[in-house]
Amino acid sequence: MTDKKSSAEDRKLVLEAKKTRKNSYAPYSNFKVGAALLARSGKVYTGANLENSSFGQTVCAERLALYKAVSDGEKDFKKIAIVAPGAEPVTPCGICRQALFEFAPQLEVLSVNLKGKVRKYTLRELLPYPFKYEKKKTKK
Ligand code: THU
């Protein structure tokens, strides 16, 4: 984990995550999260958390950004910015870490709280032992 100065790229991603956070639908937790995912193509995909009265249907901001990107044909990602409230910048939940790992094991993670406190991680740091599915060889 580092808290180094932000680059122009970081600032752009944080701005996008902040804007998207406004679209969060979180009437149950009131914990609004925005994410901006930078694809290797250069395009940025955003997501906000989306809750439901059937709580288990809730989708985190990070996964929504990822799913939007993948369904648009992106499969390779460089960095994700996450903006959320709280004293400390929020890191992706376990499910999101595994979901992001599927496409971007080398992903950089930029976490920012509403006071502008920044933390930088690598997904590798956050998910040191990811689940990997080994396909069985099919019998011929
Ligand atoms: N949430 C996210 O969107 N991203 C995270 O990294 C942590 C949690 C959402 C899910 C739920 O809507 C609310 O925050 C409280 O858990």
What's the confidence (pLDDT) of residue 5?
67
36: β partners: 46, 81
What is the pLDDT, as a whole number, of residue 137? 81
Provide the annotated active-site residues.
62
28-51 confidence digits (pLDDT tens): 999 999 999 999 999 999 999 999
Strand 77-84, strand 44-48: pairing: unpaired
The distance in angstroms from the start CA to the end CA of the chain is 47
Q: Provide the residue ranges of all domains of the chain, joining segments of one domain with +.
A: 8-126
pLDDT at 111 over 70: yes
Phi-psi region of 86 (alpha: psi -120 to 50; beta: other; left: phi over 0): left
Q: Which tokens in the block code for residue 60?
A: 């985190």
pLDDT tens track for 50-98: 999 999 999 999 999 999 999 999 999 999 999 999 999 999 999 999 9
Per DSSP, helices labelled H in the chain are 8-21, 61-71, 94-103, 123-126
Query: For ligand 1, is residue 29 a contact (CB within 6 Å)?
Result: yes
pLDDT-based confidence at residue 4 (cuts at 50, 70, 90): low
Residues 6+ away with beta carbon under 8 Å from 115: none
- Going by alpha carbons, the residue nearest to atom 1 of ligand 1 is 60
Q: For domain 8-126, which architecture applies? A: 3-Layer(aba) Sandwich (3.40)
Q: Whose CA is nearest to atom 8 of ligand 1?
A: 60
